[in-house]
A and B are shown apart, each in its own frame.
Chain A
Amino acid sequence: MYKSIPIKPSEITPKSLYLSRRDFIKSAGVLAGSMVLAACASGVDEIQPVEPASTEEAAPDDLTSYKDITTYNNYYEFSLEKTEVATLAKDFTTSPWTVEVYGLVNKPQTFGMEDILKLFPQEERIYRMRCVEAWSMVIPWNGFPLASLLNIVEPTSSAKFVRFETVYRPEEMKAINSLNEYPFPYQEGLRLDEAMNELTLLATGLYGETMLPQNGAPIRLVVPWKYGFKSIKSIVKIELIAEQPATLWNTVSPREYGFYANVNPKVQHPRWSQVTERRIGEMKRRKTLMFNGYAEQVAHLYEGMDLTVDI
């Protein structure tokens, strides 16, 4: 169904393997030692995988290891340091948990996590995730289409946007207290047609495991054609509204983080390039793809829009 990713669920690395991978980093260690000491230029080719001659032909998307996905996280409510979030979020309370869906809907409803897991069959979706900081991962999510949930509450005809809100719990999310310039709780938004697109996922797990706090437990959004910050974590509120909602990063720095935030190698971040990205676990940079490689599924949503203006 999702042809743009040449990986079938059956090809997922067995747990024993993904937990012990990245040996190549170790073997490259000797090389790095010689690099920093002697700056010798030989041996570069030894550590780089053979790439296809044409850069247009995308290299295969290997799954990012479970370890990397769960130890390298942007979650400012816990820490600005990506490598520290996992430890600091360890004891985050994710149960009981409810998600309130309200606003311009016929049947507003508050869902308990148990209801959500019962109501919506969980499927696996392997998506690329491209961070606005120019790194990326490939993550096997478990979840269900956001559209399934929205259909239950029945958005009215005046609903044009969806607003999402992360839980606000400064006593557990300690970094909130020192980040006064950020308007927490974290908020994100999608246009209704983006929210209803079949790629848009509410994820409750990854690699077949229950979602961990650092990845946005117990339930998060995944919008694979947009920069990672759009995929809001630990959602407690979903509101259907008529006007484009304010979002956290767009409020903090509108010039740098647009409302749409579609992955677009032709629109540069004002301070750094978005042309390439580093795939976590790989040594070589990759070219960033338009809509993160999901143009076939989502390009039609933006017909008639100038994506260099509506960033």
Chain B
Amino acid sequence: MSEKHQFHLYTLLRGVVHFMAWLPLLWMILGWVQNDLGADPIRAIMLRTGKTALIFLWFSLSCTPLFLLFGWTWVRPLRREFGLYSFFYASLHVLNFLWLDYGWDTTIIFEDMFQKPYALFGAASFFILLPMAITSWKWAFSALGPFRWKRLHQFGYLAAILAAAHYILLVKQAYAQPVLFIAVLILLFVVRFFLQKRNGRGAHHV
């Protein structure tokens, strides 16, 4: 494929990603308005925003390994879109927790935050994604310089590990789904680690 084609493919895919990324939110709003989120709508929003954020984070982390495996240059830049949408849904998830679920009741929020590892892991993951989202624009890349920028964004893996821990700590003995997420994460990491070594470190941005 020529570079021009690759570029067109990227533009097209980016459009598709932007379109698809709003569907979970739209579905959720429709569900709320039509009173179709089940008996516990706040929990439904919690689960859906959390799961969507997780899926987008995993998509984001798979862009580089896919590029390394198959040489698809058009897939790699999509990590930014996926990452930003992950942060967007993570923000809704946090907002739902603080506002709809706990009504900004700081006493019980902090009780949960500091007593329960699930809340700490979730919060830590969010606070790693936050600076990544802020620095996902060109000006930040220039301001930070490629080395520091890259360092910061390598923390995406840590955010994913923390998010997976957050998830697995909240399921009641039904581990199939979180285990699947963790397996994919390990696979992505292995692919990236070995292929990058093979291609020579520093030849590509991480």
How many residues from B make CB contacts under 8 Å with A? 34
Interface centre among B25, B104, B173 (most CB of A within 10 A): B173
Instruction: Tell me whether A252 and B173 are in contact in the complex, defined as CB-CB below 8 angstroms, given that A44-B104, A275-B108, A284-B103 are known contacts.
Output: yes
Establish whether residues B108 and A68, one from each chain, have CB atoms under 8 Å apart when the complex forms: no
Residues on B with C-beta less than 8 A from A36 are: 25, 28-29, 92, 95
- CB proximity of B167 to chain A, nearest CB, Å: 12
Establish whether residues B41 and A25, one from each chain, have CB atoms under 8 Å apart when the complex forms: yes
Instruction: Tell me whether A278 and B174 are in contact in the complex, defined as CB-CB below 8 angstroms, given that A273-B108, A285-B102 are known contacts.
Output: no
Residues on B with C-beta less than 8 A from A284 are: 103
A158–B173 alpha-carbon span in the complex (Å): 36
Q: Pick the contact of B33 from A33, A276, A278, A281 — CB < 8 Å?
A: A33
Closest to A73 in B: B39
- CB proximity of A23 to chain B, nearest CB, Å: 8
Q: Pick the contact of A72 from B39, B101, B102 — CB < 8 Å?
A: B39
Where chain B touches its partner, the secondary structure class is helix
Residues on B with C-beta less than 8 A from A98 are: none
Establish whether residues B170 and A272, one from each chain, have CB atoms under 8 Å apart when the complex forms: yes
Q: Does A29 contact B (CB under 8 A)?
A: yes
Q: Pick the contact of B116 from A71, A133, A271, A285 — CB < 8 Å?
A: A271
Interface string of A167-207 (1 = CB under 8 A from B): 00000000000000110000000000000000000000000
Establish whether residues A33 and B32, one from each chain, have CB atoms under 8 Å apart when the complex forms: yes
Closest to B30 in A: A29
Establish whether residues B41 and A71, one from each chain, have CB atoms under 8 Å apart when the complex forms: no
A285–B111 alpha-carbon span in the complex (Å): 14
Closest to A74 in B: B172
Q: Pick the contact of A285 from B38, B95, B105 — CB < 8 Å?
A: B105
Residues on A with C-beta less than 8 A from B172 are: 133
Establish whether residues A32 and B43, one from each chain, have CB atoms under 8 Å apart when the complex forms: no
Interface string of A280-298 (1 = CB under 8 A from B): 1101110000000000000
Residues on B with C-beta less than 8 A from A67 are: 39
Q: Does B2 contact A (CB under 8 A)?
A: no
Closest to A249 in B: B173
Q: Pick the contact of A281 from B25, B39, B174 — CB < 8 Å?
A: B39
Establish whether residues B101 and A35, one from each chain, have CB atoms under 8 Å apart when the complex forms: no
Residues on B with C-beta less than 8 A from A41 are: 99
A80–B32 alpha-carbon span in the complex (Å): 22
Establish whether residues B35 and A26, one from each chain, have CB atoms under 8 Å apart when the complex forms: yes
Interface string of A2-36 (1 = CB under 8 A from B): 00000000000000000000100110111011011
Establish whether residues B25 and A285, one from each chain, have CB atoms under 8 Å apart when the complex forms: no
Residues on A with C-beta less than 8 A from B170 are: 271-272
Instruction: Tell me whether A272 and B118 are in contact in the complex, defined as CB-CB below 8 angstroms, given that A35-B95, A280-B39 are known contacts.
Output: yes
A280–B43 alpha-carbon span in the complex (Å): 10
Q: Pick the contact of B95 from A39, A83, A181 — CB < 8 Å?
A: A39
Establish whether residues A29 and B39, one from each chain, have CB atoms under 8 Å apart when the complex forms: no
Establish whether residues B29 and A32, one from each chain, have CB atoms under 8 Å apart when the complex forms: yes
Residues on B with C-beta less than 8 A from A71 are: 38-39
A44–B117 alpha-carbon span in the complex (Å): 28
Residues on B with C-beta less than 8 A from A72 are: 38-40
- CB proximity of B138 to chain A, nearest CB, Å: 25
Instruction: Tell me whether A80 and B35 are in contact in the complex, defined as CB-CB below 8 angstroms, given that A44-B104, A271-B116 are known contacts.
Output: no
A-B contacts, 23 listed (Cβ < 8 Å) = A25-B35, A26-B35, A28-B32, A29-B29, A29-B35, A33-B33, A36-B95, A39-B95, A67-B39, A68-B39, A71-B38, A82-B38, A268-B116, A271-B117, A271-B118, A271-B169, A273-B108, A273-B111, A275-B111, A276-B108, A283-B100, A285-B101, A285-B102
Those 8 A-B pairs whose CB atoms lie nearest each other, nearest first: A72-B39, A68-B39, A29-B33, A83-B38, A29-B32, A32-B32, A280-B39, A273-B112
B→A interface (CB under 8 Å): 25, 28-29, 32-33, 35, 38-43, 91-92, 95, 99-105, 108, 111-112, 115-118, 169-170, 172-174
